[in-house]
Amino acid sequence: TKSCAPTEIREITTTIKQRPKLYLIIANISKPSNIKKLLLSSFAFGCRTVFVAGQKKFDFDGNNNDLPQSLLNLPPNDRLKIVQFEKLSDCIHHVKHVMGARVCGVEIVEDAQDVQNDPFEINSDGNGDTAIMMGNEGSGMNRRQLESCDYFVRISQFGSGTASLNVYIAASIVMHRFHHWSREYVKS
C-alpha cells in the first residue's frame, strides 16, 4: 500500500485588511447648529463614535432638543456613540492610546496636504483608524488642537469668495474622502 502522508506541510496565513475606522473629535465648536450638523454628517459618512472635548453648553445626552431627532430615533444598535471628556488632552490620549487612531486636523496650515490626494495615514501597525478634528468656525484650531494632530489636511478652494468653508461642510468633505480612501485601502 502507498502512503498517503503529505510530503510537506506548509501553514499559509493571510492577513485580511480591516477597513480603517473613522472617528470625529468635536472641540472648540461655537454654534450648536454646527454641532448638530457635525453629528448628522459624521453618522452619514460611517462614523459610529464621536469624541467630545469640553462643549459644556451642548447637551449630548438627548434629554432636550440639542441632539438631532433623527439620531435619537435610530434603533439602539445603530446609534451614534458619543464619548465625552472634560479636557482635550484626555480626549486625545484616549483616541491615540486606547483607540489606536491617528488625529487628522482639518486646517489651513503650511504642511497640510490636499484632501483630494487621499493623504490619510497608516501607522506602523498597519492601522489607518483616523479621528478627524475641525477648528473653530471663526478662529480655526487653537494651539492645543494644532499640537494634538498627527497630520493635517486641507480642502482646495478655487474661488476668491472666502478663506474657509462652514465647519460641518468641510468636515463632510473630509469624511467623504476618508470613506472612499478606506474602501480602496482594503482592496489594495
Q: Domain for residue 26, yes or no? A: yes
What local confidence, expressed as pLDDT, does residue 118 receive? 87
CB distance 50 to 29 below 8 Å: no
**Count of domains in the chain?**
1
What local confidence, expressed as pLDDT, does residue 84 receive? 92
What local confidence, expressed as pLDDT, does residue 29 receive? 92
Q: Vertex 101, ends 90 and 167: CA angle to 5°?
A: 75
CATH of the domain at 164: 3.40.1280.10
Q: Domain for residue 53, yes or no? A: yes
Return the beta strands (E) in the chain as ranges: 22-27, 49-53, 81-85, 102-106, 113-114, 130-134, 151-154
Confidence of residue 138 (pLDDT cuts 50, 70, 90): confident
CA–CA dist 120, 102 (Å, integer): 9
Q: Domain for residue 168, yes or no? A: yes
* Single pTM value for the model: 0.85
Q: Domain for residue 7, yes or no? A: no
DSSP tally for the chain: helices H, then strands E: 5, 7
Burial class, 91, CB count within 10 angstroms (exposed 0-12 / middle 13-18 / buried 19+)? buried
What local confidence, expressed as pLDDT, does residue 113 receive? 95
The pLDDT tens digits for 47-99 are 989 999 998 877 777 666 666 666 666 656 667 888 999 999 999 999 999 99
CA–CA dist 36, 55 (Å, integer): 12
pLDDT at position 37 over 70 = yes
Confidence of residue 162 (pLDDT cuts 50, 70, 90): low
- When the pLDDT of each residue in the chain is averaged and rounded to a whole number, the result is 86
Q: Domain for residue 83, yes or no? A: yes
Residue span of the structural domain in which 100 resides: 22-187
Q: Domain for residue 17, yes or no? A: no
Q: Which is more confidently placed, 12 or 127?
A: 127
- Flag the least confident range among 26-40, 64-78, 113-127: 64-78
pLDDT at position 163 over 70 = no
What local confidence, expressed as pLDDT, does residue 77 receive? 63
CA–CA dist 132, 153 (Å, integer): 10
